[in-house]
Amino acid sequence: MERVKHDGRWAREIIALQRDDGTWGNSFHSLSAPAKRYPLTTEQALRRLRVLGYTIDDAPVRRTVDCMIACLEDKRKIDDYREKTHDWDLFTKLMLSAWVKIFDPDNEYALTFARRWARVIELAFANGAYDHNEYTKAYEDEFGIKPRGGREIDYISFYQVNLLNGTLAPETESLVFDHILSHPHGIYYFNYDRLDIPPTEFASRNTSSWLASLEILAEYNSVNEKLKFAADWLKTNRNADGRWDMGPKANDRVYFPLSDSWRDAGSRIADCTERVEVFLKTIGH
């Protein structure tokens, strides 16, 4: 998904806090909170910069990707506490590989780990539907341990969904896509429920969270017809002038704002319209 680059106030504030090694000073891992308090975690900063249209061609992102690759090569450690609910070493590789692959899809370190996850998921769906027992067995065979934490027991999270993109056989990808859309809790870290059911109110933060999940899925190959329902719903929620407005509550300091300020409703509408139009273009609608 090719985003418009916004290098104004928000990007400048984030980049000014980056360390020379490409990290931000707090810790690496946290996607559960918006990037609205300083100091940022490295993940919060990366997510916000990506929303603002920054890519690996931008020096701040390149520094962070190089740092993450060094961690994958065991040349350095990420600055973080070790969470006890996960196998932390495996979870670290999961996080780092996902972020590297997002910005550098051809990176071999990230792809190697992505292919390992793909082998697990291929076996979990080998009988034409998701089988959790087969998933657990394949996970243990691939990684040498049983899944411990929530993000490994339930693979539908930001990291795995990004990693699996482009690594599955077409038949499996279609099954996985449908499974994610109908999952009762959506994609973890996005605070939304079933993705195949649009929000009840368009002008809401829920719409932004729902769209954030679909923006990940929009990168998959089997996307056009499977996300037509989302395109149709978005089109029915245009203003009279053909633009979109998710309302002031959509300002979460993660996916909005894109403009320097939403004091002017026109800037908010322009941001919402830009985001929806990029999404619709990506899915071919």
pLDDT digits (tens, 9 = 90+) for 78-127: 866 666 666 778 888 999 999 999 999 999 999 999 999 999 999 999 99
Q: Tell me, what's the pLDDT at 151? A: 62
Compute the distance between CA of residue 190 and CA of residue 179 in angstroms, rounded to an integer.
Answer: 17
For the segment 266-284, the average pLDDT, to the nearest whole number, is: 97
Compute the distance between CA of residue 13 and CA of residue 18 in angstroms, rounded to an integer.
Answer: 9
For the segment 269-284, the average pLDDT, to the nearest whole number, is: 97
Decide if 39 contacts 53 (C-beta within 8 A): no
> Radius of gyration of the chain from Cα atoms?
19
Phi, psi of 200 (to 5 degrees): -75, -25
Quick check: 272 pLDDT over 80?
yes
In total, the chain counts a number of residues equal to 285
Q: Tell me, what's the pLDDT at 209? A: 94
Task: Identify the DSSP state of 5.
Answer: P
For the segment 260-282, the average pLDDT, to the nearest whole number, is: 97
Q: What share of the chain is helix, strand, coil (3-state, %, to 5)?
A: 50, 0, 50
Exposed/middle/buried for 158, CB within 10 Å: 0-12, 13-18, 19+?
Answer: buried
Indicate the average pLDDT of the chain: 91
Q: Tell me, what's the pLDDT at 84? A: 63
For the segment 133-148, the average pLDDT, to the nearest whole number, is: 92
Compute the distance between CA of residue 51 and CA of residue 254 in angstroms, rounded to an integer.
Answer: 7
Task: Identify the DSSP state of 249.
Answer: G
158-169 per-position pLDDT tens digit: 999 999 999 999
Q: Tell me, what's the pLDDT at 230? A: 97
Give the predicted TM-score (pTM) of the model. Answer: 0.93
Cβ-based neighbours of 269, under 8 Å, separated by 6 or more: 239, 243, 244, 245
217-248 per-position pLDDT tens digit: 999 987 778 999 999 999 999 999 999 999 99
Q: Tell me, what's the pLDDT at 260? A: 97
* Tokens encoding 153: 């027991």
26-44 per-position pLDDT tens digit: 688 776 555 555 568 899 9
* Tokens encoding 14: 């984030």
For the segment 183-200, the average pLDDT, to the nearest whole number, is: 90
Confidence bin at 77 (pLDDT 50/70/90): confident
Q: Tell me, what's the pLDDT at 217? A: 95
Compute the distance between CA of residue 73 and CA of residue 2 in angstroms, rounded to an integer.
Answer: 29
Amino acid occupying residue 40? L
Phi, psi of 70 (to 5 degrees): -60, -35
